[in-house]
């Protein structure tokens, strides 16, 4: 006798099944499907761009591929790289901060005025970093508890800090005499330029924090699915506050380095940095919707930005055209990344539909098989 009777087969065939269509993979779901492929798709073009630009520039000027020039490139992008490292955490966590550029200007002016007033270097550094922590705490509490959109909130902060920098400095750069902070911009550490060492150490430490700790995994979870992260036990509010505090503290440190490199507190030194920071972060593979990004990609994006500027300088391209070329390359790179994401989304959608179709066919075959087994058993019984 077969395992199913006629009544059981009829019951199995009539049992309601889940006919809900499978969820269509969204862009965020696609990003989570193959992080290795997403990483490779971002890193390989950036490395190729750096190599090609470097080789071409070196063919025109052999001084390009020298240790001194590369240290100079890293020093020039030090402030941008530190800001981008903090912004990477925020963007992966689904947040954003547009006030970092004006905060750099404000911190630089504040530090210059305090040094000019006779404050010690240690006191100035502590006060400026504490101010960065306070700003991040304010942004984080407002976003986490009042649910104010960070874009609007920090856009207002951009205007506030830019105005404060102009008011404190009386709309003029404040020169800084030789002091302890000069070492940050022009010092030599372990045989390398201090800004280059600071940038590399910052990227390495924050990269380890992002990719190899529970904190970093929580950041990715927060940006990918905030509600799911909350239900899984992730302290989403506290994590949001921490991200803003980390970002603003790094912005304050970048302001001190900027002042040191300029040897003055310039109220306009940070203008436009917030847009460049977001550009290089997205260029490095971070998604503005959150949940995707890497510190390696961000560093390569910053390095591409620095190599482009250095190449244009070595090739003696007029300054009026440098911004045009840089902006065009960034637009091209981001567009290529978007096209790749769309193609990946179509592939994932097609695979999802194929899997759903296969599941449906298997279900039909299984039900028909059970029905045939029931009918066979019934026929045998009648013949007996």
Helical residues (DSSP H) of the chain, grouped into ranges: 6-14, 27-33, 35-60, 67-76, 78-92, 100-116, 121-146, 150-169, 182-186, 194-211, 214-224, 226-231, 236-262, 273-283, 295-314, 319-383
User: Which one-letter DSSP state was computed for residue 30?
Assistant: H
Give me the tens of pLDDT residue by residue for the chain, a chain 384 residues long.
Answer: 444 444 444 444 444 444 444 444 444 443 444 567 777 777 888 899 899 999 999 999 899 999 999 999 999 999 999 999 999 999 999 999 999 999 999 999 999 999 989 899 999 999 999 999 999 999 999 999 999 999 999 999 999 999 999 999 999 999 987 666 888 888 889 889 999 999 999 999 999 999 999 999 999 999 999 999 999 999 999 999 999 999 999 999 999 999 999 999 999 999 989 988 998 998 898 988 899 999 999 999 999 999 988 998 888 888 777 778 767 766 776 677 677 667 766 544 444 444 443 444 444 434 444 444 444 444 333 333
DSSP, residue by residue, 161-201:
HHHHHHHHHTTS-EE--S-TTHHHHH-EETTEEHHHHHHHH
Which residues make beta-bridge pairs with 175?
A: 264
pLDDT of residue 341: 67
**Is residue 255 within 8 Å of 111, Cβ to Cβ?**
yes
In a domain, 148, yes or no: yes
As a residue count, the chain comes to 384
In a domain, 287, yes or no: yes
In a domain, 256, yes or no: yes
Instruction: Tell me, rounded to whole angstroms, the distance of Cα 120 from its chain centroid.
Output: 36
Crossing angle (nearest 10°) for helices 67-76 and 78-92: 50
pLDDT of residue 8: 47
In a domain, 31, yes or no: no
**Is residue 88 within 8 Å of 145, Cβ to Cβ?**
no
pLDDT of residue 192: 92
Element (H, E) at 21: none
pTM strictly above 0.75 = yes
In a domain, 232, yes or no: yes
Q: What is the domain extent for residue 260?
A: 66-297
In a domain, 191, yes or no: yes
The count of domains in the chain is 1
Q: What are the angstrom distances between the C-alpha of 200 and each of 92, 193, 254, 286? A: 21, 11, 14, 19
In a domain, 246, yes or no: yes
In a domain, 151, yes or no: yes
């Amino acid at each position: 006798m077969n395992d199913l009777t006629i009544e059981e087969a009829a019951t199995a065939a009539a049992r309601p099944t889940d006919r809900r269509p499978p969820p269509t993979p969204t862009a965020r779901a696609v990003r989570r499907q193959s992080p290795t492929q997403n990483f490779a798709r971002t890193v390989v073009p950036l490395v190729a761009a750096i190599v090609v630009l470097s080789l071409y520039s070196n063919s025109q000027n052999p001084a390009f591929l020298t240790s001194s020039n590369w240290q100079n490139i890293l020093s020039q992008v030090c402030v941008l790289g530190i800001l981008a490292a903090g912004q990477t955490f925020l963007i992966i966590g689904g947040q954003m901060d547009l006030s970092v550029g004006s905060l750099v200007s404000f911190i630089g002016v504040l530090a210059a005025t305090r040094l000019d007033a006779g404050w010690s270097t240690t006191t100035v550094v502590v006060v400026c970093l504490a101010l960065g922590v306070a700003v991040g705490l304010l942004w984080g509490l407002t976003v986490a508890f009042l649910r104010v959109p960070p874009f609007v909130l920090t856009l207002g902060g951009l205007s506030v800090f830019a105005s404060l920098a102009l008011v404190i400095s009386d709309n003029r750069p404040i020169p800084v005499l030789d002091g302890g902070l000069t070492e940050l911009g022009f010092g030599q550490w372990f045989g390398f330029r201090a800004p280059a060492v600071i940038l590399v150490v910052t990227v390495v430490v924050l990269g380890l924090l992002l990719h190899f700790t529970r904190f970093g995994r929580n950041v990715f979870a927060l940006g990918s699915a905030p509600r799911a992260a909350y239900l899984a036990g992730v302290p989403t509010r506290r994590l949001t506050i921490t991200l803003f505090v980390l970002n603003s503290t790094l912005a304050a440190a970048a302001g001190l380095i900027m002042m040191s490199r300029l040897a003055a507190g310039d109220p306009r030194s940070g203008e436009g940095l917030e847009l460049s920071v977001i550009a290089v972060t997205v260029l490095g593979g971070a998604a503005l919707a959150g949940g995707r990004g890497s510190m390696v990609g961000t560093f390569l994006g910053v390095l591409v930005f620095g190599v482009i500027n250095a190449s244009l300088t070595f090739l003696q391209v007029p300054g009026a055209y440098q911004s045009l070329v840089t902006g065009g390359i960034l637009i091209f790179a981001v567009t290529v990344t978007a096209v790749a994401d769309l193609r990946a989304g179509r592939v994932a959608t097609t695979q999802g539909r194929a899997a759903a179709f296969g599941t449906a066919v298997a279900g039909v075959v299984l039900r028909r098989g059970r029905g045939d087994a029931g009918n066979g058993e019934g026929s045998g019984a009648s013949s007996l």
